[in-house]
Structure 1
Amino acid sequence: MASPTSSDEINEFFLNVVMETTQIIIEEEETSSKRRKRQQCLNRDREGAHDRLMADYFAENPVYTDEMFRRRFRMSRRLFLRIANDLANYDPFFTLRWDATGKRGVTTLQKCTSAIRQLAYGTSSDMWDEYLKMSDRTSRESLYQFCKGVVKLYSTKYLRRPTKNDIIKLYQAHESKHGFPGMLGSIDCMHWPWRNCPNAWRGQFTRGDHGHPTLILEAVASNDLWVWHAFFGVPGSNNDINVLGQSDIFNDIINGTGPDSRFSVSGVEYKHGYYLADGIYPTYAAIVKTIPYPEDEKRKKFAKCQESARKDVERLFGVLQQKWHIVANPARALELKTLRYCMYACILLHNMIIEDEGNAICEYDPNDIHENVVPVDEGQQESNMWALYNETTHNHLRSDLIEHVWQFGRVNNNE
């Protein structure tokens, strides 16, 4: 039988345990109460916000005109409604739903409007809470889901490799405007500052000439600012964010899977079209660079015309940043995949707007498919690669273009 002293100690021990447990429960309840107080649900008038949005922009006789809609949404009402309907059919996130308590959610137009305004004005996700009655989290999710949906739905059509018919139209347009036969477009890059780059990645994404983390967008544009190829990320990295990058352009040549793009200039036939570029690009057979220090009149004429034609892609980045300010401002997202979707969504929307306004060189034809070309063997791939890297072909092509541009300018002057 235990002694009284040991029994008192046991009772005191259990009493202390009960008191400590009670104190822990009380503290947890107080913490939960504070947390619930911080996360209280606001009584947003979502129905009223939807009705105001409809009356302002989407009613039969809206308050704001078509010109004001075009300026604020960066596109026509017809195109915006088409995108909204496609997203609602593609992703249930953009449909009107009710929660477990029977409270009505946010409509398709509200979510798409919030996403477009964030892309167009580059504002934070809670900027439109007063007008659209959407929380910061819902607006941010709407933006990312909108960009992802646009990329999934429209990248095949509006960010595609050119077909044979597209190449013929591009050749005709560039030669008539710039005097460059066989020109597919101009290639260049821009830097997008990354504000919320993780500290562990800052060294990888920072260049000395910028001093802060940036992401690189490299694109090919024709003279109507149509983007055919785009590479987004860090050149040479394997971060799984390449959709149609520079390597894909030349991989088609190496693998022999690209469409027939032969052309002739100054009586010489070349197998592949070319892109105009500045001095940072290599001297490939499919790239034509300017002459840094032209000596005679022919070379001066060529350098002037080449640099003038390259303004297409320079204007592209300027128009892209002015139209979609989210690209002009430092990126806020934390994940590379999210940033990729945002950038490609801006490019795709830009191309869709061009087509909607009737300014595209190459109209999309679903019957115009790529040729089913079987990739060549490894030996032929290596031969194609060395032909692409051939500086002699690059120099010969540039010499023939110098002569052609000189004769083209003389004919135009005589006319």
Structure 2
Amino acid sequence: MTALRQLAYGAPADQSNEYLRLAKTTVIDCLINFCKCVYEVFGDQYLRRPTAADTQHLLEMHERRHGFPDMLGSLDCMHWEWKNCPVAWRGQFTRGDHGHQQLCLKQSHLLTYGYDMLFFGAAGSRNDINVLYESPLFNKVLEGGAPEVYFTINGTTYTKGYYLTDGIYPTWATFVKSFPCPEDSKRKKFKERQEAARKDVEQAFGVLQARWAIVRGPVRYWSRDILRDIMYTCIILHNIIIEDEGDVVSNWMGDEENHPTLVKQGSTPEFQEYLRRNCELRDSETHHQLRADLIEHIWALDENNQ
């Protein structure tokens, strides 16, 4: 009870002294142990990566809602203020435009489904690009284990899904950015649709903070491991609620990818294939071509609807 009150309402630890007859230190221990248990027991199920069936569902859902074919989602970061950050770490966890210590959460999918692709714990001084380079978002793509996505837009065939991002992200083949100051009507229409679709990830952060007040205000714990367990517990509990409401993408079938990795040395064919995928992922020409094709697709779609 006291752990859920702290998570949902952001209640201080000493608020339950008279109500539940618990001391402050006991209340804090209850929260820490509860979050650690939830993360260890349910993390593999409710924080798993999407399967091929999940990916196909996401592609269809995003095209139906926003008109972007074969879009995987949107990328963005949320900052969580860390009030009791240790003095030795305050330099790396402080950004000048925020003025206080914080941790970053990178989100790449909606929080309205039974799994998420997220990365939490980056230093608050980092911007979206630094967090992107640290996150394991594209590890499966580089390792060749991500679900395959093949689609054709405006006569051009692509082999990877893409994410909608803002202007700070690099020109990778899997990113579709908007235009800062579009002049022609086609680019203006694309900018309007792209920014409207990117609101999904902002709404996901808003839903998370509205449901769990502890991640809305400054956090007062000292350990990064405790903060990680709290953040992941809030997301897991949210996904359990969504599953209970019947909006989950698919049922969990267990850990299908937990296989031991064989370590090899030297320049192996697998490593050469890894480098090739990395070059394809960072291809700026594919980025510009994909955005140009999407501009024509969105314009033609709006013309047909009219």
Judge same fold: TM > 0.5, yes or no.
yes
Q: Over residues 372-392 of structure 1, what are the superposed CA-to-partner deviations in whole Å (9 max), with x where a residue is unaligned? A: 9x9961111111111111111
- Relative distance call for 1:291 and 1:219 in structure 2 (3 A) is same
> Structure 2: which 5+ residue stretches go unaligned?
126-131, 263-268
Structure 1 CA distance, aligned partners of 2:162 and 2:86? Answer: 38
Q: Over residues 190-216 of structure 1, what are the superposed CA-to-partner deviations in whole Å (9 max), with x where a residue is unaligned? A: 111110001111001001111111111
- Relative distance call for 1:312 and 1:259 in structure 2 (3 A) is same
Q: CA deviation at 1:357?
A: 1.0
Alignment partner of 1:317: what SS? helix
Q: TM-score, normalised by structure 1?
A: 0.67
Alignment partner of 1:339: what SS? helix
> Structure 1: which 5+ residue stretches go unaligned?
1-112, 238-243
Kept in 1: contact 2:3–2:30 (CA 8 A): yes
Specify the alignment match of 1:165 in structure 2.
Answer: 53
Structure 1 CA distance, aligned partners of 2:9 and 2:141? Answer: 40
Q: TM-score, normalised by structure 2?
A: 0.89
Alignment partner of 2:77: what SS? strand
1:400 aligns with 2:288: no
Specify the alignment match of 2:265 in structure 1.
Answer: none
Letter in 1 for 2:273: Q
- Relative distance call for 1:156 and 1:118 in structure 2 (3 A) is same
Alignment partner of 2:137: what SS? helix
Q: Over residues 26-68 of structure 1, what are the superposed CA-to-partner deviations in whole Å (9 max), with x where a residue is unaligned? A: xxxxxxxxxxxxxxxxxxxxxxxxxxxxxxxxxxxxxxxxxxx
Specify the alignment match of 1:286 in structure 2.
Answer: 174
Q: Over residues 135-172 of structure 1, what are the superposed CA-to-partner deviations in whole Å (9 max), with x where a residue is unaligned? A: 21121111111111111111212111111111111111
Structure 2 CA distance, aligned partners of 1:325 and 1:264? Answer: 43
Specify the alignment match of 1:176 in structure 2.
Answer: 64
Specify the alignment match of 2:35 in structure 1.
Answer: 147
Q: CA deviation at 1:130?
A: 1.8
Quick one: percent identity of the two aligned structures?
A: 48
Q: Over residues 73-114 of structure 1, what are the superposed CA-to-partner deviations in whole Å (9 max), with x where a residue is unaligned? A: xxxxxxxxxxxxxxxxxxxxxxxxxxxxxxxxxxxxxxxx11
- Residue of 262, 266, 273 corresponding to 1:380: 273
1:187 aligns with 2:75: yes
- Residue of 12, 15, 20 corresponding to 1:124: 12
Structure 2 CA distance, aligned partners of 1:135 and 1:223? Answer: 34
- Relative distance call for 1:267 and 1:228 in structure 2 (3 A) is farther
Specify the alignment match of 1:220 in structure 2.
Answer: 108
- Runs of at least 4 residues off by over 4 Å: 367-372
Structure 2 CA distance, aligned partners of 1:179 and 1:364? Answer: 27
Structure 1 CA distance, aligned partners of 2:133 and 2:105? Answer: 9
- Relative distance call for 1:365 and 1:123 in structure 2 (3 A) is closer
Kept in 2: contact 1:160–1:228 (CA 8 A): yes
Alignment partner of 1:366: what SS? coil
Q: CA deviation at 1:286?
A: 0.9
1:364 aligns with 2:251: yes
Structure 1 CA distance, aligned partners of 2:86 and 2:148? Answer: 44
Kept in 2: contact 1:231–1:245 (CA 8 A): no
Alignment partner of 2:135: what SS? helix
Specify the alignment match of 1:391 in structure 2.
Answer: 284
Specify the alignment match of 1:340 in structure 2.
Answer: 228
Structure 2 CA distance, aligned partners of 1:171 and 1:152? Answer: 30
Q: CA deviation at 1:405?
A: 1.1
Structure 2 CA distance, aligned partners of 1:336 and 1:182? Answer: 36
The total of aligned residue pairs comes to: 293
Structure 2 CA distance, aligned partners of 1:314 and 1:169? Answer: 21
- Relative distance call for 1:358 and 1:258 in structure 2 (3 A) is same
Q: CA deviation at 1:246?
A: 6.4
Higher relative contact order (CA 8 A, sep 6+): 2
Alignment partner of 1:234: what SS? strand
Alignment partner of 1:248: what SS? coil
Alignment partner of 1:218: what SS? strand
Structure having the larger proportion of residues in helix: 1
Alignment partner of 1:281: what SS? coil
Q: CA deviation at 1:266?
A: 2.1
Q: CA deviation at 1:292?
A: 1.1
**1:227-246 → structure 2 map (5 Å cutoff):** 228-234=116-122
Structure 2 CA distance, aligned partners of 1:371 and 1:117? Answer: 35
Q: CA deviation at 1:358?
A: 1.5
- Relative distance call for 1:245 and 1:382 in structure 2 (3 A) is closer
Letter in 2 for 1:408: L
Specify the alignment match of 1:264 in structure 2.
Answer: 152
Letter in 1 for 2:294: L
Letter in 2 for 1:364: N
Kept in 1: contact 2:3–2:27 (CA 8 A): yes
- Relative distance call for 1:324 and 1:405 in structure 2 (3 A) is same
Query: Which shifted more, 267-276 or 331-340?
Result: 267-276
Kept in 2: contact 1:229–1:246 (CA 8 A): no
Specify the alignment match of 1:102 in structure 2.
Answer: none
Kept in 2: contact 1:262–1:270 (CA 8 A): yes
Specify the alignment match of 1:89 in structure 2.
Answer: none
Structure 1 CA distance, aligned partners of 2:142 and 2:291? Answer: 21
Q: Over residues 283-328 of structure 1, what are the superposed CA-to-partner deviations in whole Å (9 max), with x where a residue is unaligned? A: 1111111111111111111111110011011011111111111001
Give the alignment's Cα RMSD to 1 decimal.
Answer: 2.3
- Structure with higher Rg: it is 1
